[in-house]
Amino acid sequence: MNISEVTRRDILDYLLLREDPFFGRLDLISFLKRIWDLSSIPSTDSRYTTAEGDIWQHMINNNDWEYEYLLITYLDLLKCDDDIFISFLQQSIHPLVLKSKAILEESVKEFNGKLAFDGYRFEIDTYLSDRPVYIAKRINAYELAEINNAYEVVLSFAGEDRNYVEKVADFLKSHDVKLFYDKFEEVTLWGKDLTEHLDKVYRGNARYCIMFISKHYADKVWTNLERRSAFAKAIEEKDEYILPVRFDMTEIPGLRPTIGYIEISSISPSKLGELILKKLGRIQ
């Protein structure tokens, strides 16, 4: 069993409190049949022969079981095989079950945030009438190591602007901020496929991407790659992720002009470092 009881309990707590019930727009028994063959599970009630009879009697007819009892005690979701637990989660976000797009996105984010450390991630597999169908995939050992050692901040900049950026990086490092700055990662980057690795860095679990915008930044191949990966994460998660810092007012494709930014001409590298510490909640 790779998915810990702690992770399972956290996810089940979320589902039991979710605005839409875990069985969504289906009736409870129809939902459960998508995961278990209820007719092959013996009854614990002498009046019935199968689990389907048990569940109907206690969840629908008498309504004397709580959902928590059903999922944790009766169906044993805290200790069952990973495959069963994952199947349960997949069905709880299937288009036939869950109608709300907002709750779907919230649920996937919640699942992935909790499952990452146990080696799983939900990704879109296909579409059903333009609705995404998610399946859980195993995270390989390399990706898992990346997650467990997530950066707080990743820096994206053009080489021409390195003099300023390096001072910011040194300031953050001196304050024990875990950050991605290429000069600090020379050994890690050595021999890597940089296209693949940088996509993982800028689309990974960092809290913020500090984007140092300039006329040089707009033209570079590598900054374009970093920018696309950062924008992809920002779109997927719909969270505040990209923090623009401007050397000038160069327009960057995909960056909305309404996004707040810091103008570098008016502040020193150490002052910018302090603002980043405040954003991270390190200082008031």
Q: Please tell me whether residues 37 and 133 are part of one structural domain.
A: yes
In a domain, 83, yes or no: yes
Q: Please tell me whether residues 124 and 234 are part of one structural domain.
A: no
Q: What is the predicted pLDDT for the residue at 82?
A: 92
Write out pLDDT tens, residues 100-146. Answer: 889 999 999 899 888 887 888 899 989 998 899 999 988 764 455 45
Q: What is the predicted pLDDT for the residue at 140?
A: 61
Dihedrals φ, ψ of 134, to 5°?
-95, 145
Q: Which domain holds residue 200?
A: 150-279
In a domain, 18, yes or no: yes
Q: Please tell me whether residues 11 and 98 are part of one structural domain.
A: yes
Residues 80, 72: Cα–Cα separation, whole Å: 10
Residues 284, 280: Cα–Cα separation, whole Å: 10
In a domain, 97, yes or no: yes
| Strand, coil or helix: 280 | coil
Q: What is the CATH number of the domain that holds 198?
A: 3.40.50.10140
Residues 114, 102: Cα–Cα separation, whole Å: 19
Write out pLDDT tens, residues 184-212. Answer: 988 888 888 888 888 888 887 788 999 99
Q: What is the DSSP string of 76-102?
A: -TTTS-HHHHHHHHHHHTSTTT---HH
Q: Please tell me the chain's helix, strand, coil percentages from 3-state DSSP, rounded to the nearest 5.
A: 50, 15, 35
Q: How, if at all, do strands 131-138 and 120-128 pair?
A: antiparallel
Residues 208, 192: Cα–Cα separation, whole Å: 23
In a domain, 284, yes or no: no
124 and 257 Cβ atoms separated by less than 8 Å? no
Q: Please tell me whether residues 112 and 164 are part of one structural domain.
A: no
Q: Please tell me whether residues 10 and 121 are part of one structural domain.
A: yes
Residues 121, 126: Cα–Cα separation, whole Å: 15
Tell me the pLDDT band of 284, cut-offs 50, 70 and 90.
low
Calculate helix-pair angle for 221-237, 194-202, nearest 10 degrees: 40
The total number of structural domains in the chain stands at: 2
In a domain, 60, yes or no: yes
Please give the helix or strand (H or E) that residue 213 lies within, else none: strand 208-213
* pTM score, whole prediction: 0.54
Q: 106, 141, 176: which is the final residue of a domain?
A: 141
- Per the prediction, the chain carries an average pLDDT of 87
DSSP letter, residue 117: G
Residues 38, 53: Cα–Cα separation, whole Å: 9
